[in-house]
Amino acid sequence: MNIFKHEFRLYIKPTLGWVLAFFIMLAVFFGIYPMFQDSVATVEKILSSFPEAFIKAMGFDLMNFTSEIGFLGFLMTYIILIGGIQAMNLGLSLLSNELRDKTADFLYSKPVMRINIIHSKILVGITCILITNILFAIGSLFTLSLMVKADFSLKLLSLFWGSLLLTQVFFLTFGMMVSVFMNKLKSVVPVSLGTVFMFFIINMLNESIEGRPLTPLTPFAYFHAGQLIQDLAYDYKWLLLNICLLIIFAITAYIRQMKKDIPSV
């Protein structure tokens, strides 16, 4: 029984559905971008009427209405939010779907080592995330190439792509870790939405506080769009923290799943 092929067929359609959502966001936001470009003064006047804390929380202070790549930087905040939900859904589902569907007995009674089952499922998760990021990278590059007449920074664009990838891997491994400690996970959607939005709200609060002291508590703050635009580089302490955490999550999920008693139905 090829577990990887079975699991991949199970998750590829939802993955392509999430990619379609990214493409729709790109099309809609860049469809309205010319309106912002023609009304920069009006938009800035409207934004100035809002409290400064609200503007920072929503990320508007980072947006450059005269630059398509700057506009994409603002958009990335919400693309990464959607990507986080996708990855958290995937992470929660991969190691728990047999328990929810009550087919664990069938899978784990097969002559396949548990370690091979876990490896196959992790590989499916990574593959789906890579497919998502590769297709998004192609779509965003194509969109910018059509819209931008002058040269734009491919380095900055690659940093945006890396931000999405690293944040998604964070939530993928975090979701896997959470799932192996929950024996009665009936649905992944409420848990994934609640968890990701909790981190996102912490990030919004963090943006509104001087000095951004809550940055260590949320992965949405590790790859700050304004800092990327300004420095054209990641802040290495947050990059290292993200990598360390996702490694810890993955190892914890792996060890727990290897030792976990699978209840019979």
CB atoms inside a 10 Å sphere around CB 97:
19
Q: Is residue 10 part of a domain?
A: yes
For the ranges 11-15, 128-132, 153-157, the lowest mean pLDDT is seen at: 153-157
What pLDDT is stored for residue 65 in this prediction? 61
**Distance, CA of 73 to chain centre:** 15
Residue 18 above 90 pLDDT? yes
Domain containing residue 184: 3-259
Question: How many structural domains is the chain composed of?
Answer: 1
pLDDT in tens, 63-88: 556 677 878 888 898 999 999 999 99
At residue 143, the pLDDT reads: 86
- Measured CA to CA in angstroms, residue 258 lies from 48, 77, 119, 169 at distances of 55, 36, 11, 21
Q: In terms of residues, how long is the chain? A: 265
pLDDT value, residue 212 = 87
**Position 8 confidence tier, pLDDT thresholds 50, 70, 90:** very high
Q: What's the rounded Cα separation, in Å, for the pair 40 and 28?
A: 18
- 100-129 pLDDT tens trace: 655 544 455 555 677 888 888 899 999 999
pLDDT score for 229? 85
- Asked if residue 17 has pLDDT above 80, the reply is yes
- Domain membership flag for residue 254: yes
Q: Is residue 151 part of a domain?
A: yes
Residue for token pair 């990574």: 126
Closest Cα to residue 99, out of 189, 171, 179?
179
116 located within any domain:
yes
Residue 265 within any structural domain of the chain? no
Report the distance separating Cα 146 and Cα 160, nearest Å: 18
pLDDT at 242 over 60: yes
The string of DSSP codes covering 108-124 is: HTSSS-HHHHHHHHHHH
Q: Does residue 13 carry a pLDDT above 90?
A: yes
Condensed to tens digits (0 to 9), the pLDDT of residues 30-67 reads: 788 777 766 666 766 766 666 666 666 666 655 556 67
Identify whether 264 is part of a domain: no
Q: What is the pLDDT of residues 137-184, one digit of tens each?
A: 999 998 888 877 667 788 999 999 999 999 999 999 999 999 988 877
